[in-house]
Structure 1
Amino acid sequence: MKKSNLWSLRLGFSGKEADKIEKIGLEKFLKRSYYAKFDKDVPAFLNDDPKTLAEYKESRQRIKDLDPEEKKKIQKKENQTTAELKKWWIAKMQTDEFPLREKMVVFWHNHFVATSQKVKINYWIYQHNMILRENAFGNFRELTRQIVKSNAMVKYLDNVDNKKGKFNENLSRELLELFTIGIGNYTEEDIKNGARALAGLNYGDEGAVYRKNLEDNSNKTYFGKTGNWKADDLVDIIFEQKNIPYLITRKILKWFLYDNPSEELVVYYGDYFRKINFEIAPLLTKIFTEEYAKDTSGNKIKDPLVYISQLINELQLKDYDEAMIVAFLKQQGMDLYNQLNVKGWDGGNSWLTSQVYLQRNTTADLLCNGRSLSKKVQSAMTEENSRPKKEPEKKIVKIDFDSNGNNKTIISELSNRLLFTVNESMQKDMENLLKYDFDPKNPNANYGVVRLFNYITKLPEYQLI
């Protein structure tokens, strides 16, 4: 696979940034990604959502007094808003000039998990998402501080039930186990005293705030330090620990480059991360520029987001509905805002089970044949040999190829763009599809190249980057 195509998939969601990376170089591409502006306006579909604590309490009280049918209507509207929130984010991923920020937002979204299913308040989920976006390339310690004090996180990890004399350890535990330092680097006493420090941290207008009648103001010992610690203090103490950089550098390497990164790389980049005081942008620059110089292709299974985005980009589908992508991701086990648990999506081999692979192949068939992934088609394609009763109107799909070439040059062109390796058997199969007498100037030549592309999407090698 051509290096710029490979890294376009890694630093974005499809191959559309390949020419840009080739033209301006990787370092300029990264710098422009870090400084590219992004929209901070609250989406219109959230206009009616409660945004202050008073509005939230008032809306909950109002719902209590409604009859069951009215409650169902409100629940339906909230579900529709959640669906709009997913489509809004998908649109950002697909249309941003420099999509690396959104790629990082998805990474942080899967690191600091807070699901809409449990949080329920769409505006809080949006706030959580914006914290990740605004701090995507900032400082890891500062990002951790803000997330711990977000309404979404205190709701998701039950810190609203954490009170003086009746402690809930969920947020304290995950802050250590999953968000920062990892298992084996703390004690149960650290978790208990962390919970005491977080007691009373509850919903607020722009973020979580301490309630005086619920907080614990006694001294707590945390990683050997004693004081009346609160949320920010816990984060500062955690970031003084020796092993703090490695959990996150391992996850970054897994997200972008390797399903199984070596411990040597984890420690190497982790030590650098500590040296630069946990600034994310310079860490990413170091990782990407140094790994770019190596031959690292084929070490990571494409996640569903990259898979579907690449299909859409290659087939030049301009008028697709973001809901199509949302439905595909849910089917593949990558439902946005709704991971199965606080650990997030596992990634790696979980993106290529036999069922997931079959769904991918069926999706490629549908899109290559100009059919849309409507909900009816999506549900129908999960049932063996079933088809929707009414065929939707087919769309014209096109693949970029050199119309001045021949069968072998076009096969080489697509292979370089889409595959990291081609063996003799694959080459022979592709030449059987696009025969020696193939005429690229024939008005129907595109159909032959689309068939070739569809064959390539079924290859195990296509699933890798």
Structure 2
Amino acid sequence: MDNNILWSLRLGFSSKQAPTISKLGLTKFIEKSFETITKNKIPNFLENSPKTFEDFKEIRMQYKLDNKEARKRLRISEAKVSLEMKSWWIEKMRTDEFPLREKMSCFWHNHFVATFQKVKVNYYIYQHIQILEENAFGNFKDLTKKILNSNAMVRYLDNTDNKKGKNNENLSRELLELFTLGVGNYSEADIKNGARALAGLTIGEDGAKYRRGLEDNNSKTYFGKTGNFKADDLVDIIFEQKEIPYLITRKILAWFIYDSPKEALVKYYGDYFREMDFEIKPLLTKIFNEEFSKDNAGSKIKNPIEYTLQLLAELHIENANPKAIVYFIKDQGMDLFNQNNVKGWVGGNSWLTSQVYLQRNNVADLLCNGRGLNRKVAKPKEEMNKKTVNRNTAKIEWNNNGNNKQIIAELKDRLLCSVDEATQKDFETILKYDFNAKAENSDQVVMRLVNAMVKLPEYQLI
């Protein structure tokens, strides 16, 4: 695969940015990506959703007073808003000129998990995503503090139930196990005392806040230090620990480049991350520039968003319904704002089970044959074919001045990491030696070749 295309996929969701990477060079492309800004205007789909503390009090009263049907209507209404928010994010991923910020925000979304299913308040989830986007390239320690003090996180990990004398340890545990240090680098006493420090941190107007009468202002011992610690104090102490850089560098390498990064590489970048005082920009710059020069194509399975948006871009399908994309990636196991648990999407081989592979091949058939994405795309072929589906304007770019081997080589360079000799012969069976690139049906023949390529196991890799 062409290296610029490979890194366009790794730093975004399709090959759209490959010409820009080629023109600017990777370093300049990364700098431009860092310069992107987020828009803070609240989207229209949140207009009628509850936002203030008074709104939530009113809704709680409705739940107590209204009948079952009224509560059902409210749940359905908020579920529709959640779908709109997922579609909104998918469109940002598809259309951003420099999509690295969205790619990194999605990484943080799967690191600091907080789901709509548990939080049940779309505005809190929106605030959560805004924190991630605004701080995507910022400081890891600062971002951890902001997330720890967010309404979405204290609600998702049940810190609203954490009170002095009656502690809930969920947030304290995941802060150490999943967000910062990883298993084996803390004690149960640290979890218990962390929960005491977080007691009383609950829902606030613009973010989580401590409530008098619920917080614990007695002395606690945390990683050998003693004091009346609160949320930010815990984070400061955690980031003094020896193992702090490695969990996150391992996950960043897995998100962008290697499903199973070598531990030597994790430590190498982790040590640098500590030197940079946990600033994300220099870490990403170093990783991307150094890994760009290596022969590491095919080291990571595409997640459902990468697979889908790359295919749509390659086929120049601009009219795809973002809601249909949302449903498809959900069926592929990547439901935005709704991971199965606090550990997030596992990634790696979980993105390529036999069922997922079959679904992807079904979608490739649909799109390459001029049919459109819809909510039924993940169903078996015979079920999909019972109904007429939307049409698309799929087309493929290719050099019609070349012979069959030249055309195959061009498409392989765009789409595939590598293929064996037998697969090459299969391609030449579709695009024969006497293929006439100027013939009336040449586009259809090349599309058949593309369809065969994107259904290969090799296409699932970047």
What TM-score, normalized to structure 2? 0.98
- Letter of the 2:141 partner, please give it: R
- Cα distance in 1 for partners of 2:152, 2:384 equals 41
Contact 2:125 2:152 in 1 (8 A): yes
Write the mapping of 1:23-34 to structure 2, written as runs, cut at 5 A.
23-34=23-34
- Cα distance in 1 for partners of 2:19, 2:408 equals 19
- Cα distance in 2 for partners of 1:440, 1:130 equals 49
| 1:242 matched to 2:242 | yes
- Letter of the 2:407 partner, please give it: I
| 1:403 matched to 2:400 | yes
Change (3 A) 1:336 1:8: same
Matched with 1:12 is: 12
Contact 1:115 1:156 in 2 (8 A): yes
- Letter of the 1:305 partner, please give it: I
Contact 2:319 2:392 in 1 (8 A): no
Matched residue of 1:385: which SS?
helix
- Letter of the 2:344 partner, please give it: G
- Cα distance in 1 for partners of 2:232, 2:161 equals 19
How far does residue 443 in structure 1 lie from its aligned partner after superposition?
3.1
Matched residue of 2:178: which SS?
helix
Unaligned ranges ≥5, structure 1: none
| 1:448 matched to 2:445 | yes
Matched with 1:312 is: 312
Contact 2:159 2:198 in 1 (8 A): yes
- Letter of the 1:263 partner, please give it: E
Matched residue of 2:226: which SS?
strand
Matched with 1:160 is: 160
Contact 1:14 1:309 in 2 (8 A): yes
How far does residue 228 in structure 1 lie from its aligned partner after superposition?
0.1
Matched with 1:258 is: 258
Matched residue of 1:308: which SS?
helix
- Cα distance in 2 for partners of 1:383, 1:369 equals 16
Write the mapping of 1:46-61 to structure 2, written as runs, cut at 5 A.
46-61=46-61
Write the mapping of 1:332-347 to structure 2, written as runs, cut at 5 A.
332-347=332-347
How far does residue 393 in structure 1 lie from its aligned partner after superposition?
4.3
Count of aligned pairs = 462
How far does residue 244 in structure 1 lie from its aligned partner after superposition?
0.2
Q: Which whole-Å deviations, capped at 9, do the CAs of 1:379-408 have from their partners, x for residues lacking one?
A: xx5246333433124323100101211211
Match of residue 434, structure 2, among 434, 437, 457: 437
- Letter of the 1:403 partner, please give it: N
| 1:417 matched to 2:424 | no
Unaligned ranges ≥5, structure 2: none
Deviates more, 1:37-46 or 1:342-351: 37-46
- Letter of the 1:298 partner, please give it: G
Matched residue of 1:428: which SS?
helix
Write the mapping of 1:207-226 to structure 2, written as runs, cut at 5 A.
207-226=207-226
Q: CA RMSD in A?
A: 1.0
Matched with 1:374 is: 374
Matched residue of 1:221: which SS?
strand
How far does residue 449 in structure 1 lie from its aligned partner after superposition?
1.2
- Cα distance in 2 for partners of 1:440, 1:210 equals 70
Matched with 2:138 is: 138
Deviates more, 1:52-61 or 1:234-243: 52-61
How far does residue 457 in structure 1 lie from its aligned partner after superposition?
1.0
Matched with 2:196 is: 196
- Cα distance in 2 for partners of 1:194, 1:457 equals 49
How far does residue 265 in structure 1 lie from its aligned partner after superposition?
0.3
- Cα distance in 2 for partners of 1:193, 1:392 equals 57
How far does residue 246 in structure 1 lie from its aligned partner after superposition?
0.2
How far does residue 86 in structure 1 lie from its aligned partner after superposition?
0.3
- Cα distance in 2 for partners of 1:302, 1:383 equals 22
Contact 1:369 1:394 in 2 (8 A): no
Write the mapping of 1:67-106 to structure 2, written as runs, cut at 5 A.
67-106=67-106
- Letter of the 1:431 partner, please give it: E
What TM-score, normalized to structure 1? 0.98
Deviates more, 1:255-264 or 1:392-401: 392-401
Matched with 1:348 is: 348
- Cα distance in 2 for partners of 1:98, 1:406 equals 35
**TM superposition outliers: structure 1 runs of 4+ over 4 Å:** none
- Cα distance in 2 for partners of 1:166, 1:460 equals 52
Q: Which whole-Å deviations, capped at 9, do the CAs of 1:313-337 have from their partners, x for residues lacking one?
A: 0110011100111011110000000
Matched with 2:386 is: 389
